[in-house]
Each structure stands twice: as structure tokens, then as C-alpha cells.
Chains A and B, each alone.
Chain A
Amino acid sequence: QSVLTQPPSVSAAPGQKVTISCSGSSSNIGNNYVSWYQQLPGTAPKLLIYDNNKRPSGIPDRFSGSKSGTSATLGITGLQTGDEADYYCGTWDSSLTTWVFGGGTKLTVL
């Protein structure tokens, strides 16, 4: 059971928008930065969003992040088949003094 809770799967049609939620607590999301990672099939994870809502260089603005209280959300607009991947949220947990990941969400672009 992950400390951060994500939906196991989401799906949407090409060109549409999807959001992925990540729910935590005051010891993790509530008081620390959230980051998001994309893992394409058979590859290593890649940083997608950091500091709640910032995009690393090279990440298109179709990807966005937000945080409110103890929850965070990843948004993806203009869905492409190449966006099919597993997405993970992550943050530091100040009580556990460990990094924590969500269980991951599999995105299917129908």
C-alpha cells in the first residue's frame, strides 16, 4: 500500500485532456514539493514536473502540475498515442524521513 494514492488507470481519446490525481497527507504532499515522473514502456522513469508545477527543459507545455493542500494533480492536454505510459507522483515524507512514490497510473490513449 503506497503512502501516496493514485488511480490505477485513466484513459482518454487522442487530442483530449486527462488528469491524474495524487493524494497524500500533511507530512508529505501538504508540506513538501511534489514531482511527477513518466515511464514509457521498457524505459527508465523521466522527470516530468517538479516543484509542484514546473516543467524541466524539453517537456512540452501540454503537461502541467498543480497542488492544493494534501493533493496534487497532473494534467495532460492534446493527448497523443506517445503519451501512453505509467505516471508516478513523488515527494519527501517528513515524518517517515523517506521519499515516497504513488502506486502509479497507467495512461491509455484510446
Chain B
Amino acid sequence: QVQLVESGGGVVQPGKSLRLSCAASGFTFSSYAMHWVRQAPGKGLEWVALISKDGSNKFYADSVKGRFTISRDNSKNTLYLQMNSLRAEDTAVYYCARDQTTGTNLDYWGQGTLVTVSS
């Protein structure tokens, strides 16, 4: 069965960096585009980034553009989110999600990992 397991969350000071990982299993990872979506405490879903199947195309929300980098290693079935220059407003649960057919829907989601940006 499809499984997505995020890791790497934690407490980090403003201005610092953190890298999230999402380990995928149960499907051919290299055949699917992947997303990162976040949810601040008590708030709605906010899309963060999308990467194509082969990693050649990447798209970002304006709120993270220039600070966050999405990447993937298809040989390791793993998705990454490198987060630099973190701000308090980046505090959220970060989910990775599979795109069923690029840009149409997010059909499987991980359980999420909490990132807290605080001094």
C-alpha cells in the first residue's frame, strides 16, 4: 500500500535552516509528481511546492520562493524540502503528498511533521 512518511521536523530558531524528508513506498516513486503542503496551527491548508516526476520542474508558493527548495532522489524514493531563512510564520505541520496526475489532485498524504520556528 502507498505510504508517505515525513521526518525532520522540530524546533528551530528564526533565520536558521531545516531539511524535511518524505520516504515513499508502495508505488513507483519516479512515476509521480510530489507536493509539500503545510498547515499552521488552527489554520487551513497552504500549498508550498511541487516537483515533477524527474525533478526537472519545480513550482513554489510566493510565501516560500527563494527560501525553500524542493528536491527528490528517485533512487532513494525520497522527497525533500530544504527550508532556509526560517520565519515564525513558517511554523506548521508539513505534509508531503503524491500527485495522481501532475497538477490534478493529491491522492495520498503523509501523516505530517511539525516545524516550530521560535527563539
**What is the distance, in angstroms, from A86's C-beta to the closest C-beta of chain B?**
8
**B105 pairs with A46, CB closer than 8 A:** no
Binding site for B on A (CB under 8 A): 2, 32-33, 35, 37, 39, 44-47, 50-51, 56, 86, 88, 90, 92, 97-104
Binding site for A on B (CB under 8 A): 35, 37, 44-47, 50, 59-62, 95, 97, 100, 103-112
A35 closest partner in B (C-beta): B105
**What is the distance, in angstroms, from A97's C-beta to the closest C-beta of chain B?**
6
What is the CA–CA distance of A27 and B45 in the complex, to the nearest angstrom?
A: 20
Instruction: Point out the residue from B61, B95, B106, B112 that lies within 8 Å of A35, measured CB to CB.
Output: B106
**B109 pairs with A101, CB closer than 8 A:** no
**A50 pairs with B109, CB closer than 8 A:** no
Besides the known contacts A50-B105, A98-B60, A99-B106, 16 further A-B residue pairs in the complex with CB atoms under 8 A apart: A33-B105, A35-B104, A37-B45, A39-B45, A47-B105, A50-B100, A51-B105, A88-B45, A92-B104, A98-B62, A99-B35, A99-B59, A101-B37, A101-B44, A101-B46, A102-B44
Contacts across chains A and B counted by CB atoms under 8 Å: 67
Q: Which A residues touch B105, using CB under 8 A?
A: 33, 35, 47, 50-51, 90
What is the CA–CA distance of A46 and B60 in the complex, to the nearest angstrom?
A: 22
**What is the distance, in angstroms, from B63's C-beta to the closest C-beta of chain A?**
10
**A99 pairs with B47, CB closer than 8 A:** yes
**What is the distance, in angstroms, from A23's C-beta to the closest C-beta of chain B?**
15
**A44 pairs with B110, CB closer than 8 A:** yes
What is the CA–CA distance of A110 and B59 in the complex, to the nearest angstrom?
A: 41
A50 closest partner in B (C-beta): B105
**What is the distance, in angstroms, from A12's C-beta to the closest C-beta of chain B?**
21
**What is the distance, in angstroms, from A98's C-beta to the closest C-beta of chain B?**
6
